[in-house]
Amino acid sequence: MTRVAIVTGGSRGIGRQSVERLVEDGFAVVVGYGGNAKEAHDVVETLTAGGGQAIAVQADVGDEVAVKVLFDTAESAFGGIDVVVHAAGVMHLAPLAELALDAMDRMHRTNIRGTFVVDQQAARRVRTGGAIINFSSSVLGLGMPGYAAYAASKGAVEAITLILARELRGRDITVNAVAPGPTATALFLDGKDEETVARLAGQAPLERLGRPEDIAEVVSFLAGPARWVNGQVLRANGGIV
């Protein structure tokens, strides 16, 4: 039986790389996307041309009706759901005293409400032996200025992750979060000058930015062989303390 995964935020960056890795691992994948229809359909076209199974479905992760349709479509197309990777997220950076509250609200809707809505459907639908994988961030432990609202939203993701793992006792479903460090994606690079990027890249002992495929490798691990890893936050950041 082919295993089935839903990946939100699957049209670009870490989400897209996770889609590609899971298809390589033999999954049929539903690419959830918000507004990047062309990119989502491009990745599906590329994967299906290579013999993979993938479809694209638009869904605002903060909209419980749209997310229900996303899960319904996955079940209709492929017969069930084994893994949910919730990679959709937004980031607005500014000192706490200066951040516009509407920017904070947008992060709250996508990063907190979105995680809750997606995980709620996942908790109801993922089959025995499955996995739910959320996304936090290593900035939560670094206390970097300008990240207060974003880090707060990811703190909520970690709380949801750890509690849901315990609530699914007896279901043989793992629930974990991946917390990337600085990773070379549009979400991270947008608005940063070369000096800032170089400084952040130098934080890790490996002296580079993470790559989306580095994070997708962790997703693959949690989606497949990592059956004894549960209720954890894996900080995939190259050794940043």
Please, are residues 81 and 75 in contact by the beta-carbon 8 Å criterion? Answer: yes
Half-sphere exposure of residue 129, counting CA atoms within 13 Å on the CB side? 6
Q: Is 33 a catalytic residue?
A: no
- 18 burial (CB, 10 Å; 0-12 / 13-18 / 19+) is buried
Q: Locate 208 and state its tokens.
A: 């580079």
The active-site residue, picked from 27, 33, 147, 150, is: 150
Please, are residues 184 and 14 in contact by the beta-carbon 8 Å criterion? Answer: no
Radius of gyration of the chain (CA): 17
* Phi, psi of 51, deg, nearest 5: 95, 0
> Which of 34, 140, 52, 65 lies closest to 13 in space, CA to CA?
34
Please, are residues 60 and 111 in contact by the beta-carbon 8 Å criterion? Answer: no
Q: Locate 43 and state its tokens.
A: 């990745």
Q: List active site positions.
A: 150
